[in-house]
Amino acid sequence: MAPIETEYLIRFGVLLAALISLVILVYSPGITGPLLFDDYTNLSPVGEDGGVSSWSTFIQFIFGNPSGPSGRPVSMLSFLIDARNWPPNIASFKYTNIMIHVLSGLMLCWFVSELMQILGLSAQRSALLGLLVAAVWMLHPFNGSTTLYVVQRMTQLMTFFALTSLLCYLKGRRLVLSSPAKGLLLLCLCLFPFALLSVLSKENGVLILFLILVFEFSIFRSQPKNTELVIWFRAGIVAPLVLFGMYLLLTFPDAIAGYEFRHFSLFERLLTQSRILVIYLGKIVLPIDAGVNLFGDDLRISESLFNPLTTLFSVLLLAGLATAGLYWRKAQPVLFFGIAWFFVMHLLESTYLPLELYFEHRNYMSMIGPLITCVWYLNSLMQTSHWEKWKRAGMPLIAIALMSMAWTTWQHSRLWGHTGDLLAHWAENQPNSSRAQITYADLLSRVGDMEGSLLYLERAHELNPREITTLLHMWNRACEAGVNPPYSLENIGSRGNLEYYHNDINFHLTALIENLAAAKCDFPSYQVMRALFDSVAALPLADDRRASYHVLYSDLFVHYRQLDPALIQLRYAFDLHPIPNIPIRQAMISASAGRNSDALIFLERARAADKEQSILLPSFEDDIVAMETDINARLDSR
């Protein structure tokens, strides 16, 4: 294949540098924005135990994250680039996200250039089309809510390593026929380390295996195969896919059980996802309001194919796309490739798993396939069209489209960079989103507008009148402000139709106990508080959250000096989540009551639990030994 001319390389380099500068420019206003939603859950542990300042706290932060089966250690490690204590410099997190977005765009450019050459285009034309796909993707407004939402660095890193993996696959796939050893090395690098790094950034990285199947059934369908390639494919792709399929089958009952904690069923979720996928496709094609929304709890649930009627149209459209891709797979492999890529990248988050219904970041990598397909056919049209005016107008129209996307993304970045404007925008433009109302209410309380805060919390309550977390939120907010709460704790606890679906119940119970301990307001009787906590026990809670609930219930008993009930609640927590922290807590309570012999028994239980922990988690042995020494000294002094 002929090398690219030096003059062309210089022009390409200038365009690439201009694109990088433009991307950084349009995203720079968003650096001053806030942490949001899941940011706190995932990032606040960086400040626990005095911050990440030792090997044990380092290991705990990297491997202790509960997000996904893997814990996403690569992503967690990357957060330490920006903070090792709390509160962090939020701008640093967002700046790093923008840089990762740029790096992913550069990798996408390289990947697409390689793909276009495989499809038969010249090196120069391929590089230009790779640059165009990267430009559209980096400037596309849809990616704003991923890039400027700190915790979605997990999605960003998954995408970066996935593109690197697929680039190695493309290069290795081309090379393995002429130079088997070198080609096989690249194919192995595709899987290790890059595919593994993608999975350890976010579990969606496993879908790389399915994307390679898409390549083999479309782009490389008619390409020859040698022994090395066949062995690699069977061992590196087919075998892991079989294992992954077995894993999904084994975990399917547990996944389905998760619908107990959702306000929709599996059937309703699948129907609703058909509408959501069409919304995603619409925002890829016409990104007018893409990249702004974070909350999707205001989406209407599809109860049947005809309720709402758009469900039927969405199912038919998606079925039509899938059918068209399969029908023209041989004649138009790039069409099949783009359609299949989109569906494959939604296999986990948009199918049967009981996840939140809508998040824009699920399209960060999903949109790449459709963009490649669109650019491929745009290039074919410009190359084969007999209409000279179209050929001359093509490049200016593309430039206008890119600048329009850049302008929209810059406007959205400005909004993301101003906390008050952003949260007010969500509250006013998503009036049916309780999360949008609550988020803005929290901001108003921080700036001293308690009346406005309670007003927006009341709006959230009207949207979900049976949701207990909103009721507790209102009570805690009123307590902290020194005003009369709209609902008493006795009234909340005595309601028989409470629900828990939309927010974290334990967060609000923690605030309740903190307010109780600080004596910030008048609390009802011990019996009323117990009745309130007992009402929470009847709600559907996942095991980890129920374990945390029992720990909080024990804190309530400790406050009222009811030590035996406190120990019992901790035992319930330990049965659900057998970690050493819980029996250590029991030992502390027992020792404080002078029950030193009981405390030693609890410490032995803590030691046994400590030994059962993953070796990647820090040991509590030193703490256990220190407590045992202190307790034995007390016993000896009698």
Q: In terms of pTM, does the model score above 0.85?
A: yes
- In this prediction, residue 579 has a pLDDT band, given cuts at 50, 70 and 90, of very high
Distance (Å, rounded) from C-alpha 201 to C-alpha 72?
5
Q: What is the mean pLDDT of the chain?
A: 92
Q: 37-61: per-residue pLDDT in tens?
A: 889 889 999 988 789 988 888 988 9
Query: Is 196 a member of any domain?
Result: yes
Average pLDDT value for residue range 277-289: 92
Average pLDDT value for residue range 605-617: 88
Query: Is 95 a member of any domain?
Result: yes
Cα-based distances in Å from 260 to 86, 88, 257, 434, 532: 35, 36, 6, 20, 22
CB 145 within 8 A of CB 197: no
- In this prediction, residue 389 has a pLDDT band, given cuts at 50, 70 and 90, of low
pLDDT of 516 reads 87
Distance (Å, rounded) from C-alpha 567 to C-alpha 553?
10
Q: Which residues sit opposite 304 in a β-bridge?
A: 307
Q: 460-495: per-residue pLDDT in tens?
A: 999 999 899 999 999 999 988 888 888 888 988 888
Distance (Å, rounded) from C-alpha 38 to C-alpha 40?
5
Average pLDDT value for residue range 410-431: 94
pLDDT of 2 reads 53
Average pLDDT value for residue range 521-530: 88
- In this prediction, residue 388 has a pLDDT band, given cuts at 50, 70 and 90, of low
Domain span at residue 403 reads 23-416
Name residues whose C-beta falls within 8 Å of residue 178's C-beta, 6 or more positions apart in sequence.
Answer: none
Share of the chain above pLDDT 90, in %: 74
Q: Tell me: pLDDT of 4 over 70.
A: no
Query: Is 1 a member of any domain?
Result: no
- In this prediction, residue 541 has a pLDDT band, given cuts at 50, 70 and 90, of confident
pLDDT of 385 reads 65
pLDDT of 151 reads 95
pLDDT of 634 reads 82
Q: 219-236: per-residue pLDDT in tens?
A: 999 899 999 999 999 999
Q: 113-153: per-residue pLDDT in tens?
A: 999 999 999 999 999 999 999 999 999 999 999 999 999 99
pLDDT of 6 reads 81
Query: Is 309 a member of any domain?
Result: yes
Q: Tell me: pLDDT of 384 over 80.
A: no
Query: Is 265 a member of any domain?
Result: yes
Query: Is 105 a member of any domain?
Result: yes
Q: Tell me: pLDDT of 394 over 80.
A: no
Average pLDDT value for residue range 9-24: 95
User: Could you give the number of structural domains in the chain?
Assistant: 1
Query: Is 402 a member of any domain?
Result: yes
Query: Is 389 a member of any domain?
Result: yes
Cα dihedral 308, 313, 315, 317 sign:
negative
Q: Tell me: pLDDT of 5 over 80.
A: no
User: Which tokens go with 202?
Assistant: 């976010």
pLDDT of 395 reads 82
Burial degree of 288 (CB within 10 A; 0-12, 13-18, 19+): exposed
Q: Is 467 helix (H, G, I), strand (E, B) or coil?
A: strand
* 108: nearest Cα among 159, 175, 154, 173: 159
Name residues whose C-beta falls within 8 Å of residue 133's C-beta, 6 or more positions apart in sequence.
Answer: 108, 109, 112, 368, 371, 372, 375
Cα-based distances in Å from 328 to 155, 375, 503: 31, 18, 46
Q: Tell me: pLDDT of 430 over 70.
A: yes
DSSP secondary-structure letter at 307?
B
DSSP secondary-structure letter at 594?
T
* 198: nearest Cα among 155, 241, 235: 155
pLDDT of 70 reads 86
